[in-house]
Amino acid sequence: MIQDARETLRRVYGYDSFRPGQEEIIGSLLDGKDTLAILPTGGGKSICYQLPALLMDGTTLVISPLISLMKDQVDGLRRLGIAAAYLNSSMSAQEYRETMARAIGGEYKLLYAAPERFDAPMFQSLSEQLHIPMIAIDEAHCVSQWGHDFRPSYRQLAHAIARMGNRPLVSAFTATATPEVADDIVAMLQLREPRRFVSGFARPNLSLSVVSGVDKRRFLATFLQERKEQSGIIYAATRKEVEEVTAYLQGMDVAAGKYHGGLSDGERNEAQERFRFDELKVMVATNAFGMGIDKPNVRYVLHWQMPGDLESYYQEAGRAGRDGEESDCVLLFEPADSSVQRYLIEQGTGGEERKSVQLSKLHAMLNFSRTQRCLQQFIVDYFGEKDVPPCGKCSNCTDKSEPVNRTEEAKMALSCVGRMKGRFGVTMAAKVLKGSRDKRLLEFGLDRLSTYGLMRHLSERDVADWLYWLVAEGYLRLSEGQYPTVSLAVKSLPVLEGRETVMQRVRASVRKSEAGHAASSPLFDALKAWRRETAAAEGVPPFMVFFDATLRDIAGARPSTLDELLQVKGIGAAKGERYGSAILSVIAAVAAAGGDPAGDDGDANVAAAGSRPEVWNGRSKTGPIRSGRVGSDEQSHKTTLELFNSGLDAAEVAAERGLSQTTVESHLIRCAQEGEDLDWSRIIPSEHEARIVQAIQQVGADRLRPIKDALPPEVEYFAIRGVLFKHGFTKES
């Protein structure tokens, strides 16, 4: 039987193989078993009932709730040469009668109908006049009150099927069913010893991230800067936010369009078409956008805030990467989003039972936003698919950070908020901690608080980020409403009393800043001045002391202990020992002198956001989100560096990676150019170094060959290239 199915798949549909789950589902139906199949959107559900229908005698009935989709399906089938028709309320009485007559004549292999069409008498009369081998129910979760889209017409349908005299095989399909909803579907439709299949929920080409405690606009600016040519969707909860985000993007010259229920049909269609044709790069939309849009090259979906349930979230996020290419799904999460959702549910019109269902779905969504598990695994698990390995690419899988003790900073922030007695927002609290001379702050006399200026060594922005992080972790609370005020949460008390510590995950290596985005800051400048002096004293070029990138990372991370300093990329034990205390005193001196002047890096400085290290945010800003493909050539030289740093020499790395040794050597030089620290002693044998330098001084640095010829034969090209770079003779290209 399954052999016939495979043959039909090839002959009728032109596909070579089944997608995950399809073969098992089709096999089960051909065995005559009631079947419940849960496959994600785009997973290929239609074939699972169409194909058995083709192999069975008689006419299969397909119940489908959406008129437009029904029509698409029937058109598609007809193009494949399969006789199919639909019955729905968009037809004239005449069309309806004709279609019924043909159906009863046995002309169709598949007959689609809306659930409303089918009451018990209708089923009875059809099944008396027509051989019906199977009823396939699409969007079967609509039958369950526990689902997110309950429809009473489905409930009636279920009763009608149950009462049929000669009940056919019943199959049910849905893209979204938790195990409880699946149980409910089975019970409501009275499936008989059904087989259940759940598969295909993992989307290996999606990198999921949850990002919290950030300034959303700044995050968005940086995020889009790295994705200028890509197509993406930004989902926001309200029309107002859609308008605001669209205006913000248009203000930055991003080709952004908007889509929400407040626009006319014409405006919406136009936006959708322009997006489809890539005239608009970014679509900012409410959840009204997406039904029926099937754009394959959406490279990212960014959620401006948390939706009310994981079903909606994954459906929307899943619109990224339909073409199978690597794509990013980013959820910007703030705990306040959950109070908004809770409020909406409580004010909603649903009954008590419905409300409690929605609240528990909201909880699952919140757990997802806060979990440290693999995000892909979490979702797949939620839909009942087991034994899926961690994805290795979500923001949790890639979070290699170590928790760092932040109790002292937490106490400063918490006691300041406590003293402000819940009357001000995060911005004002940040100003107080920063020691700002803001006019309103002075008017309220907030400069007289003992916590005034406690965190003056940080920028106001960083203090605000820190406060938001404390909110995300539940130490602080934000009130509801338009101007949320911040106050202490119960969880803060043990911290303030010194009974509990606050740990924050800080990524060990700070994301390297993009070229051209170099932000200067007083600390960075001070570190450069120190480097100049040190290099002069040692008689070496400054980059031999530290690369710019390293200094920038130090300036961003503001380490206060040697251990923290060693976390910064580019500082090994040797350099730490040699320069560590000097660097720490530079940092302390700048902090004591007032650090970054207030407001020097406010919202206007969007470009600098890209180079801002993310150490103050537990949940990284853009860190885990890659713009390229994983393991693509873009990162190949980094892989080489990792292997080299793990102890292999260039030849061994070449063998390990199946690359030529020259390529490996070029990779390493490129890493050095990009600011990575290389252990030069492994590349340049110390006994050769001086002679190579001499040779270069004699014959010039323009070409390698004359240098090589001026040296003993055992000196390798790689050593020469190393010296050229290390001693700053030339920019290797």
Rule CB under 6 A: which residues touch ligand ADP?
A: 15, 18-19, 22, 39, 41-47
Q: Looking at beta carbons only, is 19 or 355 nearer to ligand ADP?
A: 19
Tell the smallest beta-carbon distance from residue 75 to ligand ADP (Å).
Answer: 13
467 binds, among Zn ion, ligand ADP, none (CB under 5 to 8 A by kind): none
Tell the smallest beta-carbon distance from residue 381 to Zn ion (Å).
Answer: 12
Q: Which helix H or strand E contains 301, and what residues bound it?
A: strand 298-303
Tell the smallest beta-carbon distance from residue 543 to Zn ion (Å).
Answer: 37
Tell the smallest beta-carbon distance from residue 236 to ligand ADP (Å).
Answer: 25
Residues 391-410 binding Zn ion (CB under 5 A) are 391, 394, 397
485 binds, among ligand ADP, Zn ion, none (CB under 5 to 8 A by kind): none
User: Rounded CA gap, 460 and 431, in Å?
Assistant: 6
Q: Looking at beta carbons only, is 154 or 378 nearer to Zn ion?
A: 378
Q: Looking at beta carbons only, is 350 or 390 nearer to Zn ion?
A: 390
Contact code string over 375-394 relative to Zn ion, x by CB under 5 A: -x-------------xx--x
Give the number of C-alpha atoms closer than 13 A to the C-alpha of residue 658, restricted to the C-beta side. Answer: 0
599 binds, among Zn ion, ligand ADP, none (CB under 5 to 8 A by kind): none
Report which of 124, 90, 93, 130 is spatially closest to residue 111, judged by C-alpha positions.
130
Contact 379/368 with Cβ under 8 angstroms?
Answer: yes
Count Cβ atoms within 10 A of the Cβ of residue 600 and give its class: 0-12 exposed, 13-18 middle, 19 or more buried.
middle
| Partners of residue 302 on adjacent β-strands | 234, 330
Tell the smallest beta-carbon distance from residue 22 to ligand ADP (Å).
Answer: 6
Q: Which two tokens stand for residue 730?
A: 């030339």
Tell the smallest beta-carbon distance from residue 39 to ligand ADP (Å).
Answer: 5
Q: Looking at beta carbons only, is 15 or 343 nearer to ligand ADP?
A: 15
394 binds, among ligand ADP, Zn ion, none (CB under 5 to 8 A by kind): Zn ion
Amino acid in the structure at residue 179: P
User: Rounded CA gap, 135 and 63, in Å?
Assistant: 8
Q: Looking at beta carbons only, is 383 or 644 nearer to Zn ion?
A: 383
Q: Looking at beta carbons only, is 64 or 492 nearer to ligand ADP?
A: 64
Tell the smallest beta-carbon distance from residue 41 to ligand ADP (Å).
Answer: 4
Whole-angstrom CA distances from 223 to 113, 120, 232, 242, 626 are: 45, 55, 11, 18, 10
Contact 208/50 with Cβ under 8 angstroms?
Answer: no
Using the rule CB under 5 A, give the single segment among 157-165, 366-374, 425-433, 470-478 that binds Zn ion.
Answer: 366-374
Tell the smallest beta-carbon distance from residue 290 to ligand ADP (Å).
Answer: 13
Among 214, 374, 664, 711, binds Zn ion (CB under 5 A): 374
Q: Looking at beta carbons only, is 293 or 544 nearer to ligand ADP?
A: 293
Using the rule CB under 5 A, give the single segment among 373-381, 438-446, 475-483, 568-576 that binds Zn ion.
Answer: 373-381
117 binds, among ligand ADP, Zn ion, none (CB under 5 to 8 A by kind): none
Contact 234/223 with Cβ under 8 angstroms?
Answer: no
| Partners of residue 283 on adjacent β-strands | 233, 257
Find the residue with minimal CB distance to ligand ADP.
44
Q: Looking at beta carbons only, is 390 or 425 nearer to Zn ion?
A: 390
Amino acid in the structure at residue 42: G
397 binds, among ligand ADP, Zn ion, none (CB under 5 to 8 A by kind): Zn ion
Q: How many residues bind Zn ion (CB under 5 A)?
A: 6
Query: Kindly report the CA angle at 408 between 405 and 413, in degrees rounded to 5?
Result: 120
Count Cβ atoms within 10 A of the Cβ of residue 666 and give its class: 0-12 exposed, 13-18 middle, 19 or more buried.
middle
Q: Looking at beta carbons only, is 41 or 145 nearer to ligand ADP?
A: 41
Whole-angstrom CA distances from 449 to 414, 430, 484 are: 13, 13, 21
Residues 6+ apart with CB under 8 A from 8: 51, 54, 55
Tell the smallest beta-carbon distance from residue 48 to ligand ADP (Å).
Answer: 8
391 binds, among ligand ADP, Zn ion, none (CB under 5 to 8 A by kind): Zn ion
Tell the smallest beta-carbon distance from residue 586 to ligand ADP (Å).
Answer: 59
Amino acid in the structure at residue 431: K
DSSP conformation letters of 508-543: SSPPPPPTT-PPP-HHHHHHHHHHHHHHHHHTS-HH
Residues 6+ apart with CB under 8 A from 545: 531, 534, 535, 538, 579
User: Rounded CA gap, 389 and 505, in Å?
Assistant: 24
Diameter over CA atoms, the chain: 101
Between the two ends of the chain, the Cα-to-Cα distance in Å is 62
Tell the smallest beta-carbon distance from residue 722 to Zn ion (Å).
Answer: 38
Is 331 a residue that touches Zn ion (CB under 5 A)? no
Tell the smallest beta-carbon distance from residue 50 to ligand ADP (Å).
Answer: 8
User: Rounded CA gap, 330 and 280, in Å?
Assistant: 20
45 binds, among Zn ion, ligand ADP, none (CB under 5 to 8 A by kind): ligand ADP
Query: Kindly report the CA angle at 386 between 382 and 392, in degrees rounded to 5?
Result: 85
41 binds, among Zn ion, ligand ADP, none (CB under 5 to 8 A by kind): ligand ADP
374 binds, among ligand ADP, Zn ion, none (CB under 5 to 8 A by kind): Zn ion
Binding site for Zn ion (CB under 5 A): 374, 376, 390-391, 394, 397
